[in-house]
Structure 1
């Protein structure tokens, strides 16, 4: 069989780049495509055959000799720097071959130069896109917001596939972390337009704004370094005076303990009294650590300047050191859980890695499950009422903290209702559970555990909201948001009726602080639930309910954390007047939950004011609410007080001043040309006000630090080192064969069975 005739390779008639891009080439020198792309020299490869083109290759009569001679002539002309029109290049194949063969070196250098230009273009394109994720998820759009002040944020918007009027953001990526919808940072997009006004001035490193900002950051780092205790800090018996310690303990039991039932109050009081009369050279370190954590939490409401913050930091560091010791197998008991819970709260309040507390809460949850607290004591070996109730209380507190920290951190709650069967705590006073076979009091009668029980009634609704906002697989609609809102309100109404019944009773009643804290917790979930729709509510009537809810809730939150001077502060009967200062002081001095919700409320109110001003331009004057304007001025005062109380970051005061100035400028009718200069002046004044305060703070801590270094010259550490510490548990098993129920519960044998 005859071998089929092989077809010869078709000679190229297009330039190199047109063939590579598969474009129709005009075969001029340079061709039209190369002129448009500005890619440099237009290069033609030299593959012209000596045979007559169009005949031997079977290309048809349309391809005459002139069509092949033109590119060849162009190549030769380009190489010699002479330009000749292609329509005059009527040369023979021999001439074409001779011309092409005479310039192989020139042609090769041109092609290399062209490739170099192309590589340079690709490198430039790559450098412009290196901050964008290469493969974004198919169900989301990622928007990058870059600012010198806040860094780069990636907002993950959900595609509008669920029938909602507008797409919403699902999460935010910043540095190495991903925040769910409940995290406060998801509202950053609300203020990006305002920050963009003066962003060019900040990018100029020689501008006064940039210089002052860098100086404030340097001062903040120096302050944190100076006031941070050495690591590790071993627990020592260096308590404050008894008068101060008594007040700090009372403040702890007045604010935190009613909400998060952790300690058995009579037992703690007894150990606390013994601490001051003990002459033993071997102190009870486990109780000493607990006591110092209680003092650290109580110090956040001691005064409005947080004057005990250095001591509180030291107490928290000592507790973390003790918790982190490797020999923890013998500590696997309820007292160890209590200390871990206190440490989580103290770290958040005192500002020791508060944004990472949620990670430690996951370890605490697993520790409790490992110890069987997720199983109701009825399904475990027989134990006393005291041991059973303490287990229920601690499990209830761990559930509360896990959900609340998930909401604050924007992380998914790793808790499910079908993952435990432990019943809520009984309605007992602490003295009751030490008796034999105590009977719980009726639900309508207030006890030391009633607030925790009331919160448990809303736990299922709040857990559903947290999962809805932060779970990776959550793709809920606005209708689901309204359903969850209704469920939480229904659960909260029953709690309100219960609290109102307690307040009208004749016996023990809840304090105003306790009632306000319950309301604050509920409002935090309401804000988080509707916050993703707040921006869209400015344009879409479908989300008008969310806008109304957010503003009303933000005002309630703000007034709880920053009471108006016109509000009466006369306490109710049997309620100490000092209780009215607890929540405002927590907002000023304590970091974490209380400060975040206060800041978030002020920002949302500012955004509402700006929306009202924009609507005023369209609908006419008379829309802007004066009560909201008052709150914006109060926000500046509140932010400044946080700096006076030891806050080293000036961003809160910076943002409050910026928002207030922007609103003021809009009210004054400043145009687009005048507004930026007005904002820049206000920002510079705010920074100039903060710098002397930070310098004063640094000078104070430098003096204290110098004294400490003389006493302990070898103890030095970075202030951020604690943030990486986490306590872990061993694989020790629980001994169910212990005949003593109380000792079985606590894992230690003591002379006093009630000692924790």
Structure 2
């Protein structure tokens, strides 16, 4: 008969683990327990060990770290007041996590105190702990948000940080320079009245013309030019824009084109295709240099013709039903956006119009991959065209958002549509059942630009959202990080040798380099005060030179599309002017312009909140690198002025921006007067402020006379009255050295003879001067040029571009 113990030993549940006694948890620290002293059980160091100097010996049972809660004072409760967590009970409670965090903080604090005491005993000149240098963080500058907010009530206009106008709005010295220059040398009282009359007359004509537009099919048919004209314009369109922003399928277009002229299609399809032809002609109307370019008032005749086509096309497009969307419907909307932007029409409404088309695309699912969602309902041809149109809309909307300083609609949007295949248009058609494999990126096709642009799109959208968020706390290390990413993308750009690739390659570089200018400009302005930002100073000059070189290369090839389409020149000019001005020592102007009001001044306008002190910059004398960079930047700024003059000469718009560029050039330091020291600069009388303002004004007035001399109807009442007004207001003055800055080469008849001239008619200015007509200023309606709500501005304030800092 077995004993009770033997019975327990042979039971099924008996095991060595169960028989082993459980070791009790030690609640006190081991140091107090070994000394049989009372422990207050405060972790990580109890009070007794802390007082006796044995903090390094105070350790607890590790099993307590996962089970014991603590009171608010950090005192561990008795073992009987808590139980260990059950197996699989879920995540650890927040109280336990807080307790563990506090324990770690106290332990770290204790170790830091001990380390500090040891370092204090062994401190010497050559024995510094590495942590002192590892913990060093350079102080970040406080950068104010750059934005422009104009108007009152609900008639306001906003431009965010990435807008070129916002950077000009914070350049208070340029505003002061333009205001004082106009007050000193411009008698625009009667000119202002003439412009008001002309503006009202032009608006009345446009309003009357819009009332007559019904958007009917007959109007669209009547506006289509002759076939010989359309042949030339359509071929130019496919050589330029269809190598980058893909909207039309070339083989399909030419097939419909021939059918259109032969009247083989039904009337509805013919009207839609007629609208396509109207937009194509409007897009290409001003894309080539023209020997006999003429003006109608302030706008070129070709631009006026393009505006008529666009207005009629939009009126017809508004009448179309949006319920039944087709491929041609989206193509027409994209062509409308492209035509208006190329001709600088309705610039203030561009971001809203792009957003409208973007929402149409999203509501139609263009942002999603239709292959798994609509099996058998979307053909291979439609699938490829959806990809192309989606990226075209995204690129147009993203660039418009950047120019306006507003976040894009794509920021934060989930989209999984694949980039277009890198195949030519001839490789697929509406009858294609299987799209060919995409070709290598080194092989240029009409879809290569979109294929490459899609690679940098996530980074560009991220930067667009980051830069236009006022709450973003970006440090200079972040700037260098994004600089590395953008530079890496630029270096991976394919070296296409196809002649058609000139425009796509330029666009790929420009859409990345513009972000480099934006992120580096605020720090480049501080390079003179902190050498840490010298790299940003150098980067801005290098990026500006590369961007201007791209524009010069395109214009030398007769490609004006990019210069008309983008606002990079204004951004580059604003960046160069600010970087040079704030990195040069300056002296206060000795002869400031008088501030008495002119007859055209608005005496009811309240005084400005802040007027920056007018100072004349000089090249640095104690920093050779800074002096070299500033000299290079001034030369680049003159190139920017010439490139911008090409734009306004061909289009007849953008006059106020041109005046700002000329004024910025007039503010720059002289480059032909070397100085040996700062003291010598301070003792020499600064350049005459009045002459600087006059040089800037002469640039604008000379171009204005050129516009008047090329009027389509020289005897029209507006041109005649304006000539009479300006002859009285602006007497004949010699124009020696009418350049934008001191030391510029002498100018003949007010413009640079070395500058390549688009229009031979500009030489007629010499004869006009010989007849005593003088230099005239203002043959344009600049009040409609900028993407700013300028209604209600007094004319002198418009020229002064006076944006008080207090408005922010």
The bucket for the TM-score relative to the shorter chain is 0.5 to 0.7
Q: TM-score, normalised by structure 2?
A: 0.58
| 1:180-199 equivalence runs, <5 A | 180-189=160-169, 191-197=171-177, 199=179
Task: Tell me if 1:308 matches 2:302.
Answer: yes
Structure 1 residues 311 and 547, CA gap change in structure 2 (3 angstroms): same
- What is residue 453 of structure 1 aligned with on the other side? 451
CA distance in 2, matches of 1:682, 1:519: 34
Task: Answer yes or no: is the 8 Å Cα contact 1:168–1:533 preserved in 2.
Answer: no
- 1:481 Cα deviation from its structure 2 partner: 2.5
Task: Tell me if 1:647 matches 2:652.
Answer: yes
Secondary structure of 1:329 counterpart = coil
Task: Answer yes or no: is the 8 Å Cα contact 1:219–1:694 preserved in 2.
Answer: no
Aligned match for 1:489, one of 487, 494, 498:
487
Secondary structure of 2:243 counterpart = coil
- 1:459 Cα deviation from its structure 2 partner: 0.6
CA distance in 2, matches of 1:451, 1:536: 36
- 1:177 Cα deviation from its structure 2 partner: 2.3
| 1:285-364 equivalence runs, <5 A | 285-303=271-289, 305=293, 307-325=301-319, 327-364=320-357
- 1:520 Cα deviation from its structure 2 partner: 1.7
- What is residue 108 of structure 1 aligned with on the other side? none
- What is residue 606 of structure 1 aligned with on the other side? 577
Task: Answer yes or no: is the 8 Å Cα contact 2:244–2:446 preserved in 1.
Answer: no
Structure 1 residues 369 and 661, CA gap change in structure 2 (3 angstroms): closer
Aligned match for 1:401, one of 388, 396, 401:
396
- What is residue 246 of structure 1 aligned with on the other side? 231
Aligned match for 1:231, one of 210, 220, 227:
210
CA distance in 1, matches of 2:420, 2:195: 47
| 1:323-722 equivalence runs, <5 A | 323-325=317-319, 327-381=320-374, 382=376, 383-416=378-411, 419-434=414-429, 435-444=432-441, 445-494=443-492, 496=493, 499-500=494-495, 502-503=496-497, 511-563=501-553, 580-583=557-560, 586-587=562-563, 590=564, 592-593=565-566, 596-610=567-581, 613-614=584-585, 616-619=619-622, 623-624=627-628, 627-663=632-668, 674-696=687-709, 700=713
- What is residue 94 of structure 2 aligned with on the other side? none
Task: Tell me if 1:208 matches 2:189.
Answer: no
Larger RCO (CA under 8 A, 6+ residues apart): 2
- 1:661 Cα deviation from its structure 2 partner: 2.9
- 1:182 Cα deviation from its structure 2 partner: 0.8
Structure 1 residues 649 and 579, CA gap change in structure 2 (3 angstroms): closer
Paired residues, what number?
521
Task: Tell me if 1:166 matches 2:159.
Answer: no
CA distance in 2, matches of 1:700, 1:681: 30
- 1:183 Cα deviation from its structure 2 partner: 0.3
CA distance in 2, matches of 1:267, 1:521: 30
Q: TM-score, normalised by structure 1?
A: 0.62
Structure 1 residues 645 and 222, CA gap change in structure 2 (3 angstroms): farther
- 1:301 Cα deviation from its structure 2 partner: 1.1
Task: Answer yes or no: is the 8 Å Cα contact 1:613–1:624 preserved in 2.
Answer: no
- 1:308 Cα deviation from its structure 2 partner: 2.0
Structure 1 residues 298 and 187, CA gap change in structure 2 (3 angstroms): same
Task: Answer yes or no: is the 8 Å Cα contact 2:177–2:693 preserved in 1.
Answer: no
- 1:169 Cα deviation from its structure 2 partner: 2.4
Q: Cα deviations across residues 116-155 of structure 1 (Å, max 9, x unaligned)?
A: xxxxxxxxxxxxxxxxxxxxxxxxxxxxxxxxxxxxxxxx
Structure 1 residues 643 and 374, CA gap change in structure 2 (3 angstroms): closer
| 1:263-302 equivalence runs, <5 A | 263-278=248-263, 282=267, 284-302=270-288
Task: Tell me if 1:259 matches 2:244.
Answer: yes
CA distance in 1, matches of 2:620, 2:405: 37
- 1:618 Cα deviation from its structure 2 partner: 4.1
Task: Answer yes or no: is the 8 Å Cα contact 2:145–2:470 preserved in 1.
Answer: no
Q: Cα deviations across residues 623-645 of structure 1 (Å, max 9, x unaligned)?
A: 34655444343344334433322
Structure 1 residues 488 and 640, CA gap change in structure 2 (3 angstroms): closer
Structure 1 residues 629 and 540, CA gap change in structure 2 (3 angstroms): same
| 1:728-743 equivalence runs, <5 A | none
CA distance in 1, matches of 2:714, 2:336: 24
Task: Answer yes or no: is the 8 Å Cα contact 2:423–2:447 preserved in 1.
Answer: yes
Q: Cα deviations across residues 535-594 of structure 1 (Å, max 9, x unaligned)?
A: 33443333322222211111111122134xxxxx9xxxxxxxx982214x642xx2x52x
| 1:112-123 equivalence runs, <5 A | none
- What is residue 750 of structure 2 aligned with on the other side? none
- What is residue 40 of structure 2 aligned with on the other side? none
CA distance in 2, matches of 1:624, 1:223: 50
CA distance in 1, matches of 2:687, 2:458: 52
CA distance in 2, matches of 1:198, 1:433: 56
Task: Answer yes or no: is the 8 Å Cα contact 2:422–2:451 preserved in 1.
Answer: yes
Task: Answer yes or no: is the 8 Å Cα contact 1:464–1:484 preserved in 2.
Answer: no
Q: Cα deviations across residues 510-555 of structure 1 (Å, max 9, x unaligned)?
A: 5222212211222122222323333334433333222222111111
Task: Answer yes or no: is the 8 Å Cα contact 1:462–1:488 preserved in 2.
Answer: no
CA distance in 1, matches of 2:205, 2:305: 10
- 1:491 Cα deviation from its structure 2 partner: 3.3
- 1:704 Cα deviation from its structure 2 partner: 12
Task: Answer yes or no: is the 8 Å Cα contact 1:250–1:298 preserved in 2.
Answer: no
Structure 1 residues 611 and 529, CA gap change in structure 2 (3 angstroms): closer
- What is residue 155 of structure 1 aligned with on the other side? none
Secondary structure of 1:173 counterpart = strand
Structure 1 residues 296 and 515, CA gap change in structure 2 (3 angstroms): same
RMSD (Å), alpha carbons: 3.7
Task: Answer yes or no: is the 8 Å Cα contact 1:217–1:649 preserved in 2.
Answer: no
Report which stretch shifted further, 182-191 or 630-639. Answer: 630-639
Task: Answer yes or no: is the 8 Å Cα contact 1:226–1:701 preserved in 2.
Answer: no
